[in-house]
């Protein structure tokens, strides 16, 4: 269950869209005449005049469900879910119509409501975005609805070229990571997908700060492909030794500069080992690669500028 919230000024345009899709079906309403989109819009407009200070009286929420839940999603059950959603979102005592669409594999409906309630008061949209995420999660858990399984489930053929490339690369990187047990494995698996990874170090240190992935001439940060493809999260999968504080920073930065015997169990990655793995496919950014040995040799600290 996912809900996308939009506010606007034109009830006519909103009802025309909701009613205009093939097999559009009004499954619930209150306070309006629902049979015709123009008449429904007029009903909304009349009530919105009770509070002309509300410049965007149109509330429009598209609520979508996973195809796996379709057998359960009768009209009555969908209405029940939407009404509970409205209650938890603070959408009360106002006109609304719920129009179900049948034009996609994902069962979904459009909730149109008046942000000027029956008493002329404005329905606040404060913190709607955060509340929306929380409410959808609560309803999915309560009714056992299907949770999303990440970007690997996206229908890439419907995306724009750049977005399609991003999703395809994300899937390939996830697949490479899943079958890897070390950075060396990861680099080799990426190579078979024609992907090059690039480690970025914090300026003037040997501390890994991020990772990016390149295929042909297209590059994405790991975290922009998927939040689970950041350097620290990949490293946690490959080494199991992540030591990150609440702010997302390595707790013992000095350990990265050390070659002590106990660092293998306390560091995100032993860079002496990582360097060897990088040499077979991963590239450290911002380094002059005269040789692999020179590339990963500790830098001398520069004196202060005069």
pLDDT(262) > 80: no
Mean of the per-residue pLDDT values of the chain: 78
Using DSSP, state whether 191 is helix, strand or coil. Answer: helix
Domains recognised in the chain with CATH numbers: 2-143 (3.30.930.30), 156-295 (no CATH)
Please give the average per-residue pLDDT across 254-264, as a whole number.
34
Please give the average per-residue pLDDT across 37-66, as a whole number.
96
Strand order in the sheet with 283-284: 218-221, 208-215, 196-201, 283-284
Task: Specify the pLDDT at position 239.
Answer: 81
Q: How far is it between the farthest Cα atoms of the chain?
A: 79
When mean pLDDT is compared across 32-36, 40-44, 138-142, 249-253, the lowest value belongs to 249-253
- DSSP-derived letter for residue 190 is H
Tally of CA atoms within 13 A in the half-sphere of 248 that contains its CB: 7
- Tens of pLDDT, residue by residue over 191-213, are 888 898 988 888 887 788 889 99
When mean pLDDT is compared across 45-59, 75-89, 112-126, 277-291, the lowest value belongs to 277-291
Confidence of residue 137 (pLDDT cuts 50, 70, 90): very high
Are the C-beta atoms of 186 and 234 separated by less than 8 Å?
Answer: yes
C-alpha 99/C-alpha 62 separation (Å) is: 10
* Beta pairing partners, 212: 198, 221
Task: Specify the pLDDT at position 275.
Answer: 43
Closest CA to 94 of 47, 131, 54: 47
**Size of the chain, expressed as the number of residues it contains:** 306
pLDDT, greater one: 91 or 301: 91
- Tens of pLDDT, residue by residue over 5-21, are 988 999 999 999 999 98
Task: Specify the pLDDT at position 149.
Answer: 59
- Tens of pLDDT, residue by residue over 271-282, are 334 544 444 445
pLDDT(261) > 80: no
- Tens of pLDDT, residue by residue over 77-93, are 999 999 999 999 999 99
Confidence of residue 288 (pLDDT cuts 50, 70, 90): very low
Token pair for 43 = 């009903």
Task: Specify the pLDDT at position 282.
Answer: 54
C-alpha 37/C-alpha 17 separation (Å) is: 9
When mean pLDDT is compared across 114-118, 136-140, 275-279, the lowest value belongs to 275-279
pLDDT, greater one: 246 or 187: 187
């Amino acid at each position: 269950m996912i809900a996308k919230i939009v506010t606007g000024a034109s009830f006519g345009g909103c009802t025309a869209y909701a009613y205009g899709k093939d097999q559009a079906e009004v499954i619930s309403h209150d306070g309006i005449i629902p049979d015709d989109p123009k008449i429904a819009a007029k009903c909304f407009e009349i009530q919105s005049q009770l509070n002309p200070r509300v410049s965007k009286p149109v509330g429009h929420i598209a609520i979508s469900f996973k195809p796996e839940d379709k057998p359960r999603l009768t009209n009555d059950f969908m209405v029940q879910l939407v009404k509970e959603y409205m209650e938890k979102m603070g959408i009360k005592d106002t006109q609304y119509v719920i129009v179900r669409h049948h034009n996609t594999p994902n069962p979904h409906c459009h909730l149109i409501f008046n942000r000027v309630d029956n008493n002329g008061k404005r329905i606040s949209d404060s913190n709607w975005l955060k509340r929306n995420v929380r409410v959808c999660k609560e309803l999915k858990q309560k009714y056992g609805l299907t949770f999303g399984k990440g970007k690997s489930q996206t229908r890439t053929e419907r995306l724009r070229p750049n977005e399609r490339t991003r999703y395809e690369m994300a899937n390939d990187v996830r697949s490479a990571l899943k079958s890897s047990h070390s950075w060396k494995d990861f680099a080799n698996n990426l190579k078979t997908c024609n992907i090059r990874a690039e480690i970025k170090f914090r300026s003037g240190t040997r501390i890994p700060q991020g990772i990016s992935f390149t295929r042909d001439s297209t590059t994405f940060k790991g975290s922009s492909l998927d939040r689970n493809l950041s350097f620290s999260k990949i490293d946690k999968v490959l080494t199991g030794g992540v030591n990150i504080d609440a702010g997302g920073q390595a707790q013992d930065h000095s350990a990265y500069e050390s070659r002590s015997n106990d660092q293998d169990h306390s560091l995100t990655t032993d860079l002496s080992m990582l360097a060897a793995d990088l040499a077979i496919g991963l590239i450290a950014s911002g380094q002059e690669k005269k040789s692999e040995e020179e590339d990963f040799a500790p830098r001398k600290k520069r004196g202060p500028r005069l």
